[in-house]
Amino acid sequence: MSDAIRTYSTAKGYVQSAYLIMTNPSRFQVPDDTTFILSYHMLLGFAVELYQKAYLTNTGHTEAELRSGAVRHNLKKLLELSEADSFSLPAATKLVDYLNDQHSSFEYRSI
C-alpha cells in the first residue's frame, strides 16, 4: 500500500468515526456537550489534514516536507500547497477556514 493510500485510508477512518459518534443515539451526552463537540472537531481536523497530505504525497511531496513545522497541523498551509499542485475544491477553503485556527493550536484536544 502506498503512503498516499495509507494516509487517505486513515483520514477516511477519522471521518467515519466522526460520523458514527455524531449519529449514535447511545453516545454519551451531558447538558453542555462541549467535550463531544471538541472531539468531533478534532477528528474532522485530522481528517482534513490527512486528506491534504494524501493528495500532496501523491503529487510528489515528501513525508519530511509534510511533517515540517511550517505545515504540520496547519490546514491553511497544506491547502495552499495543494492548490499550488492544481487541487481545486471551493468547499475546502470554507472547511479549512472553519477548522484551521483551533486545529493548529490544538484547542480541539482539550477544554
Non-local (6+) Cβ contacts of 105 within 8 A are: none
Q: Is 29 helix (H, G, I), strand (E, B) or coil?
A: coil
The one-letter amino acid code at 9 reads S
The mean pLDDT value for 57-64 works out to: 95
pTM above 0.85, yes or no: yes
Q: What percent of the chain clears pLDDT 70, i.e. is strictly above it? A: 99
Q: Predicted confidence band at 32 (pLDDT cuts at 50, 70, 90)?
A: confident
